[in-house]
């Protein structure tokens, strides 16, 4: 599906998806392409970036809620409250994973800056759907666990 937003030809013919626009910005346009990032077209990309950041924040919050009890270890081998101390290597790996989980969702904003607008919209839609789906399923599982 992702390749559909990058290819100018599909099935031997032109990709008509990329002939459409969103609020005047062609779906085939890039943030740095003419007329530039500070134009009306650039404004559409700015809105996309803000929405991707909002979804990323919700994704990070959902990941924190799903983290195991005790939390990730901090550098130096000390554990977060409620957890046991870990050896230095394991603590460092846990800290690095926690940092990765915290910052990786914001990578979609960087990707949207270099991909066509259609691909950025695809990223926004799929990440928002995933965060919503995980939140709804987690709440349903928690309610079921409380009634058992």
Map out the domains of the chain as residue ranges.
Answer: 14-68+106-147
Q: Is the pLDDT assigned to residue 128 strictly greater than 90?
A: yes
Residues ≥6 apart with Cβ < 8 Å to 135: 58, 62
Grade residue 124 by pLDDT with cuts at 50, 70 and 90: very high
Task: Over range 9-23, report the average pLDDT.
Answer: 84
pTM, full prediction: 0.69
Grade residue 79 by pLDDT with cuts at 50, 70 and 90: very low
pLDDT at 6: 74
In this structure, of 13-17, 48-52, 126-130, the range with the lowest mean pLDDT score is: 13-17
Q: Could you write out the DSSP letters of every residue in 58-127?
A: HHHHHHHHHSPTT-PPPTTSPPPTTS----HHHHHHHHHHHHHHHHGGGHHHHHHHHS-HHHHHHHHHHH
Task: Over range 12-40, report the average pLDDT.
Answer: 80
Q: Which residue has the tokens 């559909």?
A: 4
Average model confidence (pLDDT) across the chain: 77
pLDDT at 11: 83
Instruction: Please write down the HEC assignment for all residues of 30-76.
Output: CCCCCCCCCCHHHHHHHHHHHHHHHHHHHHHHHHHHHCCCCCCCCCC
């Amino acid at each position: 599906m992702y390749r559909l937003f990058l290819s100018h030809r599909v099935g031997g013919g032109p990709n008509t998806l990329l002939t459409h626009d969103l609020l005047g910005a062609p779906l085939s346009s890039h943030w740095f392409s003419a007329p530039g990032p500070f134009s009306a077209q650039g404004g559409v990309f700015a809105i996309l970036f803000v929405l991707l950041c909002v979804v990323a924040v919700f994704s990070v919050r959902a990941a924190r809620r799903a983290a195991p009890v005790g939390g990730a270890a901090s550098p130096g081998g000390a554990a977060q409250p409620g957890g046991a101390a870990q050896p230095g290597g394991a603590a460092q790996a846990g800290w690095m994973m926690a940092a990765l989980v915290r910052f990786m969702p914001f990578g979609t904003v960087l990707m949207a800056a270099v991909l066509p607008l259609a691909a950025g919209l695809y990223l926004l839609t799929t990440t928002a759907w995933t965060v919503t789906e995980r939140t709804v399923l987690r709440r349903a599982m928690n309610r079921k666990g409380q009634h058992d």
